[in-house]
């Protein structure tokens, strides 16, 4: 017999932005499926092609629920403002297909650090080389002065290019009755409990962003996928804390005078984080005109509403209040407990090592003290190599997966890479997710992170070249 070998450690994964399987809405789906499919011959509406804008009962129950959750000052959410989708990812592609034309739409501005999996969606829709990062800033959420300067420059460039070529400044590929409006710009952001930074933008920032979008004919696509998972930031102030984030961008666009018929903001919602990603049902909320046109995207004209059968199950979950109870009685208590455990471990083990919590969950213009979503975001201690190197060592030597700053660079934008690699750039940040592991796994993962950090700090002090040989893939 050979020498006893140490069993390999099970990998702990604080990178994965997935809900633990036990939190997915299995029972609600099962009940819904039984009720929905028990209708004998009367099931044709749910087993055939769905209306392009989505299952009407879901648009109705969703409108009620969104009204309850967001309490929009401009009035109730109405079904004509909603278009059912197959989730936020697929819907982003559909929005781009219907309302942008890479021959005319000058740039896509992505708030950085960015949700990196959105980049290939933009690239698939023709925007390779046209993606630009816009830095988050510490006060309000986004550096809007930077965005304004970039918009001005892009406008000047676009006009000069048309003059040089002697062509009109208008869409080339997408014209005619199927495309009533092609936007000049897209701004992509996650304004509440952002992925990856945890940032929540202030009301002031949101209002200024909507005004800027109107000024430059930009469409703001707001991934509002974490809005429903919200709790007090501080366990001690549990009872008095205000946990409602500022209004959505789409609500601000609706309530600010001068909203154009198609609007300048679309809320990209999803049931992935509250039912389960496999359900593939989401929604767009936007003006009624935008919703109608989005529902006529080619794939829905041919195939009917996306995720039609699954959307009937989600409707039944909303109607019976099953989903609302699942969120308030299961998801929020469990995620909240994990969040508190994670933050407490970070405070006791990582802060003394020099880590800083960067997640800006507190909107500075309101008495808001909420946390939520799936992620927190840390800056590495001084003297450590980049987060990418730390992540590679953590995975190889400590069986720990963490998401690192280089993942969140806007694809193809050299400026974004440069900003990431500046001394105070986000290449020195990591994103940690509390949605996948239970409390015990989270605590152990932070112990491993503290161990790998201490190990790397010691190697740096000894003058070892630790960057060499430490590599890890971005995806």
Residues interacting with ligand PLP, by CB under 6 A? 17, 87-89, 115, 190, 195, 223, 225, 270, 272, 277, 282
Distance of closest approach, residue 88 Cβ to ligand PLP, in angstroms: 4
Q: Which is nearer to ligand PLP, 48 or 474 (CB)?
A: 474
Q: How far apart are CA 116 and CA 110, in angstroms?
A: 10
Q: Which is nearer to ligand PLP, 87 or 232 (CB)?
A: 87
What is the 8-class DSSP label of residue 43? Answer: G
Q: How far apart are CA 31 and CA 50, in angstroms?
A: 21
| First and final C-alpha spacing in the chain | 40
SS3 call for 297: coil
Distance of closest approach, residue 198 Cβ to ligand PLP, in angstroms: 12
What is the 8-class DSSP label of residue 53? Answer: T
Distance of closest approach, residue 231 Cβ to ligand PLP, in angstroms: 18
Q: How far apart are CA 124 and CA 87, in angstroms?
A: 17
Element (H, E) at 210: helix 203-215
From the CA atom positions of the chain, what is the Rg in Å? 23
- Cβ atoms 411, 123 nearer than 8 A: yes
Q: Which is nearer to ligand PLP, 222 or 370 (CB)?
A: 222
What values do phi and psi take at 309, rounded to 5?
A: -65, -45
- Rounded to 10 degrees, what is the CA torsion of 69, 73, 79, 81? -110
Distance of closest approach, residue 272 Cβ to ligand PLP, in angstroms: 3
Distance of closest approach, residue 196 Cβ to ligand PLP, in angstroms: 8
Q: Which is nearer to ligand PLP, 57 or 277 (CB)?
A: 277
Distance of closest approach, residue 161 Cβ to ligand PLP, in angstroms: 32
Q: Which is nearer to ligand PLP, 272 or 349 (CB)?
A: 272
Q: 283-304 b/e with 16+ CB inside 10 Å = b?
A: bbbbbbbbbbbbbebeebeeeb
Q: How far apart are CA 45 and CA 43, in angstroms?
A: 6
How big, in percent rounded to 5, are the helix, strand and coil portions of the chain?
A: 45, 15, 40
SS3 call for 429: strand
Distance of closest approach, residue 92 Cβ to ligand PLP, in angstroms: 8
Q: How far apart are CA 17 and CA 434, in angstroms?
A: 8
Q: How far apart are CA 187 and CA 156, in angstroms?
A: 18
Q: Which is nearer to ligand PLP, 141 or 282 (CB)?
A: 282
Q: Which is nearer to ligand PLP, 281 or 466 (CB)?
A: 281
Distance of closest approach, residue 62 Cβ to ligand PLP, in angstroms: 14
- Cβ atoms 183, 216 nearer than 8 A: no
Q: How far apart are CA 266 and CA 221, in angstroms?
A: 5
Distance of closest approach, residue 376 Cβ to ligand PLP, in angstroms: 14
Distance of closest approach, residue 447 Cβ to ligand PLP, in angstroms: 26
Q: Which is nearer to ligand PLP, 216 or 408 (CB)?
A: 408
Q: Which is nearer to ligand PLP, 88 or 391 (CB)?
A: 88
Q: Which is nearer to ligand PLP, 210 or 225 (CB)?
A: 225
- Cβ atoms 193, 227 nearer than 8 A: yes
């Amino acid at each position: 017999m050979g020498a006893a070998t140490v069993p390999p450690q099970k990998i702990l994964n604080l990178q994965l932005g997935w809900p633990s399987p036990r939190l997915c809405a299995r029972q609600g789906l099962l009940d819904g499926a039984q009720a929905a499919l028990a209708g004998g011959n009367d099931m044709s509406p749910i087993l055939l092609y769905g209306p392009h804008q989505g299952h009407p009962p879901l648009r109705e129950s969703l409108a009620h629920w969104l009204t309850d959750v967001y309490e929009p000052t401009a009035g109730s959410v109405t079904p004509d403002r909603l278009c059912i989708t197959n989730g936020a990812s697929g819907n982003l592609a559909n929005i781009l297909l219907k309302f942008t034309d890479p021959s005319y739409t000058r740039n896509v501005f992505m708030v950085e650090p960015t949700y990196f999996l959105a980049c290939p969606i933009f690239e698939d829709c023709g925007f390779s080389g046209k993606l630009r990062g816009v830095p988050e800033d510490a006060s309000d959420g986004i550096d809007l002065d930077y965005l304004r300067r970039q918009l001005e420059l892009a406008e000047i460039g676009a006009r000069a290019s048309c003059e040089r070529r002697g062509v009109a400044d208008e869409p080339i590929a997408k014209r005619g009755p199927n495309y009533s409006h092609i936007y000049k710009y897209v701004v992509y952001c996650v304004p509440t409990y952002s992925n990856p930074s945890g940032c929540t933008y202030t009301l002031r920032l949101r209002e200024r962003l909507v005004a800027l979008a109107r000024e430059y004919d930009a469409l703001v696509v707001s991934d509002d996928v974490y809005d429903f998972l919200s709790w007090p930031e501080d366990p001690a102030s549990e009872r008095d804390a205000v946990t409602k984030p500022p209004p959505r961008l789409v609500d601000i666009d609706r309530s600010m005078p001068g909203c154009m018929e198609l609007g300048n903001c679309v809320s990209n919602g999803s049931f992935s984080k509250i039912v389960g990603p496999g359900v593939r049902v989401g929604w767009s909320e936007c003006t009624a005109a935008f919703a109608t046109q989005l529902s006529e995207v080619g794939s829905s004209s041919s195939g009917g509403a996306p995720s039609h059968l699954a959307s009937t199950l989600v409707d039944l979950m909303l109607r019976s209040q099953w989903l609302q109870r699942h969120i308030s009685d299961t998801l929020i208590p469990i995620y909240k407990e994990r969040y508190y455990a994670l933050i407490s471990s970070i405070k006791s083990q990582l802060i003394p090592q020099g880590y800083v919590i960067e997640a800006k969950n507190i909107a500075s213009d309101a008495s808001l003290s909420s946390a939520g979503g799936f992620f927190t975001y840390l800056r590495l201690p001084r003297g450590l190599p980049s987060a990418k190197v730390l992540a590679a060592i953590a995975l190889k030597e400590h069986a720990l997966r963490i998401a690192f700053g280089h993942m969140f660079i806007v694809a193809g934008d050299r400026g974004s890479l440069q900003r990431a690699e500046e001394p105070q750039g986000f290449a020195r940040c990591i994103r940690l997710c509390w949605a996948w592991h239970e409390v015990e796994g989270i605590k152990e993962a932070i112990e491993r992170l503290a161990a790998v950090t201490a190990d790397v700090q010691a190697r740096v002090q000894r003058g070892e070249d630790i960057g060499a040989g430490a590599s890890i893939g971005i995806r």
